[in-house]
Chain A
Amino acid sequence: MLYLDNSATTKPYKDVLSTYIKVTEEYFANPSSIHKLGSEAEVLLTQSRKQVANLLGVSDEEIIFTSGGTEGNNLAIKGAAFANRHKGNHIITTVIEHPSVLEACKQLESIHGYQVTYLEVDGNGRVAVEDVREALQKNTVLVSIMHVHNEIGTIQPIEEIGQVIKQNSNAIFHVDHVQGVTKVPLEFYKSEIDLCTISGHKFHGLNGTGALFVRKGVQLVPLFSGGAQELQLRSGTESLAGNVTLAKALRMSFEKGNQQIESLFQTHKKLRSELMKIEGVKINTPEDFYAPHIINFSVPALKSEVLIHFFGENNIFVSTTSACSSRSKKMSQALLSMNKSEDIAKSAIRVSLSLDHNENMIDPFVSTLKKGIEKLTKVMR
């Protein structure tokens, strides 16, 4: 089996699973209970938060545990918009954001009367820093821009954007770092980031785990009302085992990243050059500012779904676009935004690697692709 859909979700590390079982079995108490078991659970919770904060280079009290990327993005965007309503009602984001950002913004527009500017991207899927500067208004309260694109792998100029926002406005800067964390470095403070989302199952943690970085002094209105857990920003009894595994998976992935990231770049480059040799394959991932684990290409003659199923028959698992939108059978909006043709957008395939992959995956993948193209183009003609 060759699992190449790691941007959709990753396989949890074995050690992460054993931690989950151990914590669930032995430290099941509610961290808010005042007895000894509760106290132990609280120590575990504190330690999880500390570890996540250390790994991200921020302070403990700036980490809020969440259930994942979607919740993190919703809490960041709606929370910041509501808390700063008195300062303005304008939000800036981009056309290529994840649905959990775009739909949250649309909801703010349609129900709550906010105005949203959706910035366009260039042919590489990049936002122009100048466009951000021009879009900033007096009443802009929030800018939300992702770090690494989930379908294409394009890296946005987050640090420059952060500086521009800081210098020209009082807006809060949110970054969706779900695809980037542990693979593409990001300095939160230096990039003037106020809110930043990560999700556990994208780095070999578990589904239903995640964290939101909330910079000291940034006000949010919580989405959930209740027992005031997580510094009053996210009520609900903590998923203790989930949070411990998040800390563990993050550590393991950062450690692995330190060792393997160079080799992953090599694999990426080699895979790209092999793909370029195949007639009929167009590569959509840009040659500059790309993340090492994502490579997106199209075979315009073949609808992506057909090729996906062919790969599946050969035990190779890839995605059409993002897992979240692939079931809606739509064309890749991100690719259309990058001014690619409909044929390209209809036939996009995303290969997403994990830190464990090396050049050994290239031959079986490329030879299967060649076979597929040869066999299917005959039929589909």
Chain B
Amino acid sequence: MEFDHILIRFGEISTKGRNRKKFVDRLKTNIKEVLNQFPALTYQATRDRLYIHLNNENHEEIVEKLKLVFGIQSFSLAMKCKSDLTDIKEIALKAVKSLYQPNDTFKVTVKRANKQFPHDTNELNYQIGSHILIHTDDLKVDVKNPTINVRVEVRTEATYITCYDYKGAGGLPVGSGGKAVLLLSGGIDSPVAGFLSLKRGVELEVVHFFSPPYTSERAKQKVIDLTKELTAYGGKIKLHIVPFTKIQEKIQEQVPENYTMTSTRRMMVKIADQLRQKQQALALITGESLGQVASQTLESMVAINDVTSTPILRPLITMDKTEIIDIAKKINTHDISIRPYEDCCTIFTPANPKTKPKVDKVSRFESFVDFDELVKEAVNNIETLTITLDQKGNFEALF
């Protein structure tokens, strides 16, 4: 079947008043990046629709990629034919046949933009509808609530027919909502927090705390792989790897055991916050879920949050673990997250971490060491990688 273009409908963008143009431009840019391997595509944005002209590119792959782009409510593949009644009838039938199941219902909606067309809208509805009805089995008409709505738009240059809407990913175009730094450990939660932030239009930079020799190259690779999965939704992401060994060792040395976890988290937030400032981002994002572990009680959050006034977004805060796992599976990060390597959060875990740490206590423990100097050093030695959707590994030449 020959498809001519893809019609994209926006979601919430349509309600965004004067910012609409900015949103639509952003969406167009994001779509172009996700589809950059199809050079023949051409794009056309109107007030409330975006058209991608296929120019013979493979529509199946494009559909799969579009399903992931935030800011799209739904989209349809459109067929093109001559504005000629016989052709229109044939193509409409073909379109219906390609997707109907027994006992489905349908209706025909004609838009007659070319007012010179010899048949009027009612007649077209009737002609096309009966042609479909005669040439199919187990398909009935239902004009109120049909399974398939065959939309026919008769224009002077050609006629366009669409009858199946793919559901889009919803949300807002990535980047339309500012930039934030995601703390990615390698566990199941943080990639999901990243995904949900992307969904609301936030552009991500990712920070990971790397503590060799306590954590391995494989843990780092895991974070690279997780970040790569997140690039499917909004394009390339910067990944910042922080050398964290010295600070963790210092904490082990200086802070009483049941407070080490609290201190570690505070240092992470400090570092992430300085990075945020450097990268001109507006907020931090974590995968915390209330009460899941000792560091995620309200009391712990108070003690950890104490080091900054920057907003910390916690998209998973009220979610159950099972709900988080479901999303992780859907976005392909679950299987990467469960690779069994130690990360910065699992090493040095005390047997009995404080679930109700006190801010003044933890500050006092930390006051005996010049942590600010160590934090500065860590920030200055960050290794930054740019992760892209079609990331070529170091070994590409071998394959």
Contact = CB atoms under 8 A, between A and B. Distances in A.
Interface of A: 19, 22-23, 34, 36, 39, 42-44, 47-48, 51, 244, 247-248, 251
B395 A39 contact: no
User: What are the 5 tightest A-B residue pairs by CB atom distance, in nearest-first order?
Assistant: A39-B217, A19-B398, A39-B218, A36-B217, A248-B399
Contact of B216 (A34, A48, A247): A34
B156 interface: no
Contact of A44 (B217, B218, B395): B395
Interface in B139-167: none
A47 B395 contact: yes
Contacts of A19: 398-399
Contacts of A247: 399
Contacts of B398: 19, 22-23, 44, 244, 248
Contacts of B393: 43, 47
Contacts of B218: 34, 39, 42
A273 to B, nearest CB: 35
A196 B218 CA distance: 31
B399 A251 contact: yes
B221 interface: yes
B3 to A, nearest CB: 21
Interface in B359-399: 393, 395, 398-399
Contacts of A34: 216, 218
Interface of B: 216-218, 221, 393, 395, 398-399
B399 A47 contact: yes
Contacts of B221: 39, 43
7 contacts: A36-B217, A39-B218, A42-B218, A43-B395, A44-B395, A47-B395, A51-B399
A44 B399 CA distance: 9
Nearest to A20: B398
Given A39-B217, A43-B395, A244-B398, 10 more contacts: A19-B398, A22-B398, A34-B218, A39-B218, A39-B221, A42-B218, A43-B221, A43-B393, A47-B393, A251-B399
A39 B393 CA distance: 14
Contacts of B395: 43-44, 47
A36 to B, nearest CB: 5
Contacts of B399: 19, 47-48, 51, 244, 247-248, 251
Nearest to A251: B399
Q: Which of A22, A42, A47 has the most CB of B within 10 A?
A: A47
Nearest to A39: B217
A36 B216 CA distance: 8
Contacts of A43: 221, 393, 395
Nearest to A34: B216
Contacts of A248: 398-399
Nearest to B335: A61
A248 B395 CA distance: 12
Nearest to B219: A39
Nearest to A18: B398
Nearest to B212: A36
Contacts of A244: 398-399
Contacts of A22: 398
Contacts of A251: 399
A290 B128 CA distance: 43
B272 to A, nearest CB: 26
A47 B218 CA distance: 15
A142 B128 CA distance: 49
A244 B399 CA distance: 7
A22 to B, nearest CB: 6
A369 to B, nearest CB: 40
Q: Which of A34, A42, A43, A248 has the most CB of B within 10 A?
A: A43
A42 B340 CA distance: 14
Contacts of B216: 34, 39
A203 to B, nearest CB: 15
A231 to B, nearest CB: 12
Nearest to B217: A39
B387 to A, nearest CB: 15
Nearest to B220: A39
Contacts of B217: 36, 39
A205 to B, nearest CB: 13
A19 B398 CA distance: 5
A39 B398 CA distance: 17
Q: Which of B221, B393, B398 has the most CB of A within 10 A?
A: B398
Nearest to A23: B398
A142 B398 CA distance: 38
